[in-house]
Structure 1
């Protein structure tokens, strides 16, 4: 399935390690029909030497969905990009932004920004073997350098290899001295650097990532750029996604409610348990922000986080989560499970 990046990539959910697995993406797709969804980063080594199906299997409902690869060897990237296309992904994205030391030891992620020709070679190798778009996600710089010319030359070199789309995290990546979490918070955001890239490369699709948490911010960035990628706010406050189709894609507002989305996830959890023996908590963890900001949200999260209930059918857990609490809000006391009939 091919997609129009100018539409699907207009607003997207970022690749986030340990979070944006296929169960999370299924949940997010219930909330937005049009936003582009990304996998967690999958390394070329994991695909070449590991279980391809475990890493690449996804639900058909997730489209449009992009596979993010981590790697630096052009031949390996081409091999894995071909896997991605064969499995049905709509885009292959190369990670040139992750600052973790583990990723640096593999000579990929943000440290690749120092080797733009190697990135260009990898992009070309992938484009030579796939027909889906190949994109690059990167930072505006590495360590404490603030040179616009650095990121300009990186984008220029990689675009000459055929990459037309760049997703730019508007912070530097400090390769030493900061944790991945600190790298999302300590280096200053410099949106103007990304805006300048778009002005200098008007023919390229430029999307922005970093520190964007409100609809107003998304709208402002879309006035300057081609797309916006939202990270942790989309995960922690997922109900925001339910407004995206109308606000950013010009589509009719969805008719879903928080309860209908939760119920659909219950059906999905039950199907996963039947087909794969997967316990519901491994899926439910992704929807714990669904009632963010509502009265009773804390207790609702406590119920869905309670592994002592993992032997119950998820429909029973949902009933418990919505039952009045005799002990009051904020306590862990739970009512006795009701007896429900289910197949």
Structure 2
């Protein structure tokens, strides 16, 4: 499954989720939540950046609009030994766009070049770029720019790849509408266009192209891999994590691992890990029962042990 990654998701791909995910999948690349360069510079860096060795391979995703902030943030992050650095040029949130970050950056490929080249001065880790196939900048960009053609996508990628050493492009196959839609609406309302990403890979075979957006099954993954190098799965990997159960271990065994993790990590509130496991029994008769147990903010390992006893009765 090294051809698969789990998308960075705010409030979802936390350290606790990543440790839960590693209980049944060791090879898929994981991402941090999107973290702003300024947060790294000014914040509690251990809380933001520290992770366990078991989480490898793991990428740090940063959001920034300033090459100097980016350089300083990665200098700080270097001590944590992430496997790669990912620049976010795809987040469609209008709050992020108003700060000239996320998908807004697609309107300024020269800025992405500057950011990437400043980061390169302080790290030898691979630098990758996550972006959309285009943007609708109405109400955000000065010229209300619409970037929604294959030719514009190709021009954007060429400007970045010809002026940096970025070789990997993770592409969400929808445009980002920078104003008027919520992030969740931006994942569903703009039409999806996988063919545009396939064409980019065909015409730029030297680039490592990873496709993202609306992918829900392993059958879909296999089909995409006929045309691109790898596949990123987002909400489906979170809501139905057993989709990526590469060891084919049982849910019973995973809960045993959860119990061990909780009892060995007393500094972590148990709820902060179980809250990320609500999809463990997705589409099974235990789904509702498990969600009731795992979503209890006062949950303890004994509650999980009692749940296992109920499973034994079946």
Deviation track 1:163-216 (CA, whole Å, cap 9, x = no partner) reads: 100000000000111011100000000001101111121111000000000011
Determine the C-alpha separation between the residues in 1 that align with 2:126 and 2:103. 21
Structure 2 equivalent of residue 213 of structure 1: 216
Determine the C-alpha separation between the residues in 2 that align with 1:46 and 1:53. 12
Q: 1:99 aligns with which of 92, 98, 105?
A: 92
Structure 2 equivalent of residue 174 of structure 1: 177
Q: 1:299 aligns with which of 289, 295, 304?
A: 289
Q: Does 1:279 align with 2:304?
A: no
Q: Across the two proteins, how many residue pairs are aligned to each other?
A: 301
TM-score (norm 2): 0.92
Deviation track 1:293-332 (CA, whole Å, cap 9, x = no partner) reads: 222221122122223x43xx41x1113324549xxxxxxx
Q: Does 1:230 align with 2:233?
A: yes
Superposition pairs of residues 81-160 of structure 1, within 5 angstroms: 81-143=74-136, 145-160=147-162
Question: Alpha carbon RMSD of aligned pairs, Å?
Answer: 1.5
Structure 2 equivalent of residue 62 of structure 1: 55
Select the structure of larger CA radius of gyration. 1
Q: Once the 2 structures are TM-superposed, how far is the Cα of residue 102 of structure 1 from its aligned partner?
A: 1.6
Whether the aligned pair in 2 keeps the contact of 1:303 and 1:320 (CA below 8 Å) is no
Q: Once the 2 structures are TM-superposed, how far is the Cα of residue 263 of structure 1 from its aligned partner?
A: 1.1
Determine the C-alpha separation between the residues in 1 that align with 2:307 and 2:100. 46
Whether the aligned pair in 2 keeps the contact of 1:85 and 1:132 (CA below 8 Å) is no
- Structure 2 unaligned residues grouped into runs of 5+: 137-145
Determine the C-alpha separation between the residues in 2 that align with 1:170 and 1:215. 18
Q: 4+ residue stretches of structure 1 with deviation over 6 A?
A: none
Determine the C-alpha separation between the residues in 2 that align with 1:116 and 1:211. 26
Q: 1:38 aligns with which of 31, 35, 46?
A: 31
Structure 2 equivalent of residue 328 of structure 1: none
SS of the equivalent of 2:30 reads strand
Determine the C-alpha separation between the residues in 1 that align with 2:196 and 2:248. 39
TM-score (norm 1): 0.85
Whether the aligned pair in 1 keeps the contact of 2:41 and 2:76 (CA below 8 Å) is no
Determine the C-alpha separation between the residues in 2 that align with 1:266 and 1:83. 33
SS of the equivalent of 2:275 reads helix
SS of the equivalent of 2:32 reads strand
Deviation track 1:198-250 (CA, whole Å, cap 9, x = no partner) reads: 1121111000000000011000111100010000000000011114xxxxxxx
